[in-house]
Structure 1
Amino acid sequence: MLFINEGALLKVGMKENILSFTSEELKSVFKQKYNQPSYRAVQVFGWLYKDISSFDEMQNVPKKLRENLTRDFFNGQMGIFQSHRSHDGTEKFLLKCQDDNIIEAVKMEYHHGTSVCISTQVGCEMGCIFCASGREGLVRNLSAGEMIGQILAIQKHAKKRISNIVLMGAGEPLQNFIEVQKFLELVHDPKGLNVGYRHITLSTCGLVPEIYNLAELNLPITLAISLHSPSDIERSRIMPINRKYPLKDLIYACLAYTKKTKRRITFEYALIKGKNDTIADAEALIKLIKPVSGHVNLIPINTTDTKLQAPDLQWVQNFNEFLNSHGQNATIRRNMGSDINAACGQLRWQYLKKSE
């Protein structure tokens, strides 16, 4: 029997996902439910982020308390259902939630550390034409604990600390605002994973009201805007969300965000042959984002089973050089994991199709 709260899986049966609780929330629970002092909650919170599989492994926690925790909570750690490793070291994972839903995450190795790209929803309803995540629609939101669970599972598998986090997997993070906000608090906690805000990137397709709400949190994370076209007509074809929040509204929200946070925004731009890759598109892109002074991250689109294709590499380089030579800072994202379907949603979609 499942108990669903705002689309996020917080309970299974009568047990709650303990990874969704902040240390302060655990202190309150321990006092009210177990008549335990605050330091016990701090002990347990710290154990949650170590390589353990059950509450019984919390060696300095009294046996009775461990029994109560086992009765009332599940530890939230996810099982890796499938893993695929690329020749470049990138690993793509299918992870199983407590309700048997399957989600994706990716581990990437860089010279500056190990990064993970995690999902914030099961599926997606944004409908971007180049993304496989939304082909089966939105199932539900993920809880903050389920987001943490992805990182812990990959960290355990990799046997190394995750130093950078990208919320750019399946789902639209800002559509799951409350749980994502809580996730950011949890992952930043020094007693937990202790990942600095400046090592976290949140990507959105452009939910304007939520960008304003995120700005009010004033967190020094990196905001990435999935832009993909400087034209309202073409962007609406590529990304249906543009019909609700057109470019003018999006740019105003970006300006408000940078003014409030003093953080530079990254504009993700997937180059699609014949859609958004002309010099005229480059000129329009420069003009559009000039007031925001953001960085452009060019992404040659991953080929899926759609008819969309990336321009050839020389043209991608030409597009990049044009932007930089006209005063717009831009770089080309390194293509990682293409041989293991590491683009968002591909692996899960293939699994679901095979399971039909």
Structure 2
Amino acid sequence: MSPLTLITAQTEEKLLAFLTEHGHTKFRAQQVLDWVWRKRVTTFDAMSNLPPALKNLLAEHFRFHTPEIVEIHGSADTTRKFLTKMEDGSLVESVIIPAAVAENGEKSERVTLCVSSQVGCAFGCKFCASGLLGLKRHLTTGEIIGQILSAETIAEKRVNNIVFMGMGEPLSNFDNLADALEIITSHRGLEIGARHITISTSGFVPGLKKLAAYPRQIRLAVSLHGATDEVRDQIMPVNKKWPLSQLIPALEEWSRGRNQMPTLEYILIRDINDSPKDASHLVRIAKRLHAKVNLIPYNTVEGLPWKRPTEERCRSFRDAVHKARIPVTMRYEKGHDINAACGQLRLRKEQEKNGSTPR
């Protein structure tokens, strides 16, 4: 891996500080960012309105790089999952999810990207493939941004909606995440509105406290998946360190002063969390947090024992939440036919590389 820093990992503040230290003005920093994000050049020589000395300075300290796209899998529902290889050989998954139609019924130009924040995951949710190989490392700011650039190459259009719901716990990689968010939202960066970005957390309370102090109006989704400590302890090890008695106050702290509703993500798993009693517990939490609920019937992962409830059972659960006047949607995971659940493609590729097969 080259020791030079990625230019695409530089926030405006960091680039300005670097150029100021080397005798250049704010105007020059703006010019460089314009070349990188508006004109999308991939060499410093292409920055034709910069003096040669500045181009040389940039080339001495920074570089361009986009992760190698290893595989692309297309789904019948137009979802595309792709696997990228980082410079150390690490494999990272991302998913492109086009919106078929807009709210007015016309063809939508919205392209959502599900982004990973880590190589693997340390939190080990029992129903998820991401943690089966453990955590290898955090993704850098440049590697997070690189997924967006790769997605735009594949989709041949700009990404305008981002969800940090891929591999890893975003809030445990907060510093790199925060820099990536600055680049994504900046009008001198990717210029994607904060309200078009969602961060998902499994319940990492220290990161939630940092996010509560973060000024931008990023949307928040909480991978709840169990509305009692008993259920969450069974399927989400994070709950043993930060149980609901700590998680819910942290979510209230995040909500304070924001005109935003958190979303409670709830994967329905047969005979684990799909009973009427579970629905009642979920309603109680949603009311306390003034939250929306997003129900997701379980997306089967090879090698794991969990099963999807029947369609009737899913609808009954949804209706119980709706009857309590909680905003609720039922989202069937897209890309089911291409194993689009977090970590599945990487898991298969790593097993092939190591000469093993899925359990």
Question: Matches of residues 1-356 of structure 1 in structure 2 within 5 Å?
Answer: 12-33=1-22, 35-49=23-37, 50-110=39-99, 111-112=101-102, 113-305=110-302, 306-356=304-354
Equivalent pair of 1:76/1:146 in contact (CA under 8 Å):
no
Q: Distance in 2 between matches of 1:36 and 1:98?
A: 31
Equivalent pair of 1:215/1:260 in contact (CA under 8 Å):
no
State the Cα distance separating 1:123 from its structure 2 match.
0.9
Equivalent pair of 2:225/2:266 in contact (CA under 8 Å):
yes
State the Cα distance separating 1:157 from its structure 2 match.
2.2
Q: Distance in 2 between matches of 1:218 and 1:248?
A: 25
Which position in structure 1 is the counterpart of 2:106?
Answer: none
Amino acid at match of 1:173: P
Q: Distance in 2 between matches of 1:70 and 1:312?
A: 58
Distance 1:192 1:148, change over 3 A: same
CA offset digits 1:191-238 (Å, max 9, x no partner): 111000000000000011221221111421111000001121121110
State the Cα distance separating 1:68 from its structure 2 match.
3.3
Q: Distance in 1 between matches of 2:60 and 2:301?
A: 45
Q: Distance in 2 between matches of 1:349 and 1:52?
A: 34
Give the TM-score taking structure 1 as reference length. Answer: 0.93
Which position in structure 1 is the counterpart of 2:105?
Answer: none
Q: Distance in 2 between matches of 1:176 and 1:25?
A: 19
Equivalent pair of 1:30/1:41 in contact (CA under 8 Å):
yes
Q: Distance in 2 between matches of 1:89 and 1:211?
A: 33
Distance 1:223 1:322, change over 3 A: same
Amino acid at match of 1:99: D
Gaps of 5+ in 1: 1-11
Q: Distance in 1 between matches of 2:187 and 2:204?
A: 30
CA offset digits 1:276-297 (Å, max 9, x no partner): 0011110111123321110010
Q: What SS is found at the alignment partner of 1:153? A: helix
Equivalenced residues, count:
344
Equivalent pair of 1:218/1:261 in contact (CA under 8 Å):
no
Give the TM-score taking structure 2 as reference length. Answer: 0.92
Distance 1:334 1:63, change over 3 A: farther
Q: Distance in 2 between matches of 1:247 and 1:115?
A: 30
Equivalent pair of 1:219/1:261 in contact (CA under 8 Å):
no
Gaps of 5+ in 2: 103-109, 355-359
Q: Distance in 2 between matches of 1:243 and 1:313?
A: 31
Q: Distance in 2 between matches of 1:78 and 1:136?
A: 21
State the Cα distance separating 1:48 from its structure 2 match.
1.8
- Percent identity at matched positions? 39
| Comparing 190-199 and 249-258, the one that deviates more | 249-258
- RMSD of aligned C-alpha atoms? 1.5
Equivalent pair of 2:286/2:293 in contact (CA under 8 Å):
no
